[in-house]
Chains A and B, each alone.
Chain A
Amino acid sequence: GESVGLHLPTLSVQEGDNSIINCAYSNSASDYFIWYKQESGKGPQFIIDIRSNMDKRQGQRVTVLLNKTVKHLSLQIAATQPGDSAVYFCAEIPPLLNAGNMLTFGGGTRLMVKP
């Protein structure tokens, strides 16, 4: 994910529609990717993860797709509900451990669900 200044990218969807949130990651060698959901006034919560040896992983109503060729992650939410309204972050873990290579977060996308 990329920071876009003071305002988060916002995706507005109708309740019941599917949502797709995108994220570009920076390190082509990253092994592990996570999507987090952060509701207003709360800390980020783990949604789903995927490892670099996979292209797709499904959870309950959520699917993560990984395209290593273009360093792109997406989170698909089926039948979006008002409770899905939140900021969504992608995160990547690089393969080498040192003080500069920790889990790094994208800038986030705000999902707004219209009833």
Chain B
Amino acid sequence: DVKVTQSSRYLVKRTGEKVFLECVQDMDHENMFWYRQDPGLGLRLIYFSYDVKMKEKGDIPEGYSVSREKKERFSLILESASTNQTSMYLCASSLSLFTDGYTFGSGTRLTVV
């Protein structure tokens, strides 16, 4: 089974801190994604990557950046955390964008105080 591992389940950070959320998948998937999940708003795509060093903005990229230096790892960076970035962050990967569902990690619940 594909496994997508997010490094932290819970994080508490202070406003203005630089925050790194790490995600690793073990099945050689080309595509990786970062979503945030908020009550009533569902899952919203922040960034995705279809290859090493390639990235594309999703629906809500403002305040975030990403890094994909290796195929298995996709990092989400909050350059200067703000309280409105308090959310559940979900990483996902997929082999194909068209024919496969996404496999999700367990999520990181980030609280910015």
- Distance in angstroms between the alpha carbons of A8 and B106 in the assembled complex: 20
Contact A44 B58 (CB under 8 A): no
- Distance in angstroms between the alpha carbons of A107 and B48 in the assembled complex: 20
Binding site for A on B (CB under 8 A): 4, 33, 39-43, 45, 48, 56-58, 90, 92, 97-99, 101-107
Contact B99 A46 (CB under 8 A): no
Closest chain A residue, CB of each to CB of B4: A43
A4-B40, A31-B98 known; A99-B58 Cβ under 8 A: yes
A95: shortest Cβ distance to chain B, in Å?
8
Contact B40 A43 (CB under 8 A): no
A78: shortest Cβ distance to chain B, in Å?
22
Contact B104 A45 (CB under 8 A): yes
Contact of A32 among B4, B92, B99 (CB under 8 A): B99
Which residues of A from 4 to 40 have beta carbons under 8 Å from B?
Answer: 4-8, 31-32, 34, 36
Contact B42 A105 (CB under 8 A): yes
B99: shortest Cβ distance to chain A, in Å?
7
Contact A43 B101 (CB under 8 A): no
A44-B90, A99-B57, A99-B58 known; A3-B42 Cβ under 8 A: yes
Contact B56 A107 (CB under 8 A): no
Enumerate chain B residues within 8 angstroms of A34, measured Cβ to Cβ. Answer: 101
